[in-house]
Amino acid sequence: MNFKKLAVLLIAVPVSLAGCLGIGPNATYYMGTTSFHYPLSYSSYMVKLNGAEIGGGFGKSTNVAPIKVGVQAVTWKDTNTGELHTAKNQLVINKEQLKGKKYLALHMYPDDTVEVTTSDDLPDPTEKGLVWLEKQRSQEVKEGKIITKQLQ
């Protein structure tokens, strides 16, 4: 084997292993995913994280999806109107959040902001989400009805 081939091999193998081991800025993790949708006025469907559909059903439906570290593009659709929603806040997932975890849950709030939680067991709703649900119920927002005033 000549020197050029050996040099290419010595460079290619570590770079390839880095990608397989999730090392580097574009690491991808395959993990169980689900979502929690807190607005009572509609149900969500086609919940996507960077174009990959994730589970839903308020944590009752999961699937395995590729999760990349970095800035996330989060979208979902409204069952009443088919309207495409996009997260209003920037969601960034880092390697420390994912390392060693089995599940990722996306939490979608009535103001179209989102956050993620990770866990070793099936995820639970967030305290923030439960507060949103109680606020909507106290304002007598009916499930499946379109909200006519903006919740603050």
Sorting pLDDT into bands at 50, 70 and 90, what band is 1?
A: low
Length of the chain: 152
pLDDT digits 0-9 by tens, 27-72: 899 999 999 999 999 999 999 999 999 988 888 889 999 999 999 9
| pTM higher than 0.75 | yes
Residue 40 burial by Cβ neighbours in a 10 Å radius (0-12, 13-18, 19+): buried
pLDDT digits 0-9 by tens, 75-131: 999 999 999 999 999 999 999 999 999 999 999 999 999 999 999 999 999 999 999
